[in-house]
Amino acid sequence: MSTPPASSSETSPSPASTTWWRDAVIYQVYPRSFADGDGDGIGDLPGITARLDHLAGLGVDAVWLSPFYTSPMADAGYDVADYRDVDPLFGTLADADRLIERAHALGLRVIVDLVPNHTSDQHAWFRAALTAGPGSPERERYIFRDGRGPDGAEPPNNWKSVFGGPAWTRVTEPDGTLGQWYLHLFDSGQPDLDWNHPEVRAEFLDVLRFWLDRGVDGFRVDVANGLVKAEGLPDWDEELALLSGATEDGPTPPMWDRDEVHEIYREWRTVLDSYEPAGSRMMVAEAWVEPPSRLAMYVRPDEMHQAFNFTYLGAAWEAPALRDAVDRSMSANEAVGAPTTWVLSNHDVVRHASRLGTGKPGSFVGIGLGPDDPQPDAELGLRRARAATALMLALPGSAYLYQGEELGLPEHTTLPDEAREDPTFHRHNGQVVGRDGCRVPIPWVADAPAYGFSPTGESWLPQPPEFGELAVDRQEGVEGSTLELYRRAIRLRRELGLGQGELRWDPTLGSDDVLAMRRSTPLGEVLVLTNLAPDPVAVPDGVRVVLSTEDGPHPERELARTGTIATDVTIWALLD
Ligand code: GLC
Ligand code: MG
């Protein structure tokens, strides 16, 4: 094991800005698909470190790394067997230290993923629980129960796994008989921890310190709404769509969003706040919770700093729906003084360049898009994706990007079944394609094997041919390319201070199919307009367009020439 940096504040990018996260643009790296350093076809930490320049060039503030810890990979690393080590597939702890150091040297903060709801079934605690048998203290860290029915042959309750099939698996006891059942809201390789157990609580406080001591700037907290289950584990008859939470008026599921989870985050917050410079370490909740007012409870002043705002991700590509998602998110967060977050893509949903090219641009959480589904219109999807991103980057708060979206990557909708690894696919017997299509390794170099993802040309999931034209080297320096659009938007966002300040809808320019907002930032006044109407709309008088998502070279000049904003285009304009 290598020595962690002596003083983490020394390596922090800009110690002065302790609330950097309030308006940060944060880039999600999915380690197995970002860049493969050793040529085994699986992305790894040295691969990421070697490509961090790409993120610095994009202008983002931070990188969030999906799990890279020791794992048997039953759920691509979201099944952690050792929270304090790196899986050999991804490298070593020394590689993690080097990554953090290089990121900090480039001015990038580093957020790591924390998976507290469940461990892997290969975690030392779970193995000990199996060996120790029923009634042992080892079993109390998890949720073991006797089955129902005469022989205990029925699961303890009727809960279903988010990934399909039952949420309980029966174990064989040390004496060889069929015995108790354990709860797993996800795959059977992901047993749920019992968060009423003091050792579970203590363990995670220590894991937080372990990574903070190595210099990380924050944590993305996996399934933050799931840790506490209702007393007595009552039956729940509803389906569990991937991570669906409480609805505005429906009943409250016994496994999601229990009030008691908040105590846990208050305790974590005190740990984060004890690191220097005070207030600079952050947590972001992954919590699929509705309505936004319930989600806002996770970001009260003494809890987490941010929560992913999936209301916006799930909104249809229609002006009223988008306006409503923005308004509801903003007002819920303002009530607790927390910044709102915005996200369009991640490793669990169909990429927005494809989602928005379908008739139903909802969120497609967890279910994916397969060869038998109606195929998205790639051109329309990308056009809308660019407009959606420019709208997102103009909103106050913090924005999350998912690797490859800056290239306009589509979902891989025609992966062969043999290639699929997502447990969602297997636990649904192939009836749901799952999430592999958004996890395909990203293209760096059009003419290289595996499009430059891996030096040997290996790739754990096959890449579709469309990836060639979208490779980084094909877009770099090409005016109007999606990559250059992202760079420009991120730079302007910072220069114009768009991450902060007020938002007002413009009632004159806006309509049922035009979104028009005025942003007053500490640095000026900006008009942001997205045209969702079937026909072009006129560029308002007295403005100077500084960004347009129209493709082709010099889109801003083109716009000045025609005087109109085409369908599915977003512009940013300064008021003269
Ligand atoms: C989160 C992750 C997802 C994972 C699940 C179980 O939703 O984003 O990828 O499968 O938690 O850990
Ligand atoms: Mg590798």
Domain ranges within the chain, ordered by starting residue: 8-120+194-484, 124-183, 501-575
Ligand 1 pocket list (CB less than 6 A) = 75, 78, 115, 186, 222-223, 243, 286, 347-348
Crossing angle of the two packed helices 378-393 and 482-496, in degrees rounded to 10: 10
Confirm if 184 and 79 have CB atoms less than 8 A apart: no
Q: What is the pLDDT of residue 243?
A: 52
Task: Give per-residue pLDDT as tens, 419-456.
Answer: 999 999 999 999 999 999 999 999 999 999 999 999 99
Cα–Cα distance measured from residue 145 to residue 174, given in angstroms and rounded to the nearest whole number: 16
Low-confidence ranges of the chain (pLDDT < 50): 1-15, 242, 245-246
Cα–Cα distance measured from residue 116 to residue 107, given in angstroms and rounded to the nearest whole number: 29
Cα–Cα distance measured from residue 377 to residue 354, given in angstroms and rounded to the nearest whole number: 7
Name the class of domain 8-120+194-484: alpha beta
**Atom 6 of ligand 1, nearest CA residue:** 78
The correct answer on CATH 2.60.40.1180 for the domain covering 501-575 is yes
Q: What is the pLDDT of residue 390?
A: 98
Which ligand 1 atom is nearest residue 185's CA?
Answer: 6
For 70-88, the DSSP string reads E---TTTTSS-SEEEEE-T
Which residues, 6 or more positions from 525, have their beta carbon under 8 angstroms from its beta carbon?
Answer: 518, 519, 574, 575
**Atom 7 of ligand 1, nearest CA residue:** 223
Q: What is the pLDDT of residue 250?
A: 59
What kind of fold does domain 124-183 have according to CATH? Oligo-1,6-glucosidase; domain 2 (3.90.400)
Q: Which amino acid is at 440?
A: V
- The pairing of strands 341-343 and 398-402 is parallel
Q: What is the pLDDT of residue 168?
A: 98
Q: What is the pLDDT of residue 2?
A: 38
Cα of 110 to ligand 1 centre, how many Å? 19
Ligand nearest 89 Cα, by number? 2
**Atom 4 of ligand 1, nearest CA residue:** 78
> Measured in Å, how far apart are the chain's first and last C-alpha atoms?
58
- The pairing of strands 82-86 and 25-29 is unpaired
DSSP state of 113: E
Cα–Cα distance measured from residue 273 to residue 205, given in angstroms and rounded to the nearest whole number: 13
Task: Give per-residue pLDDT as tens, 327-339.
Answer: 999 999 999 999 9
Cα–Cα distance measured from residue 539 to residue 460, given in angstroms and rounded to the nearest whole number: 47
Confirm if 109 and 61 have CB atoms less than 8 A apart: yes
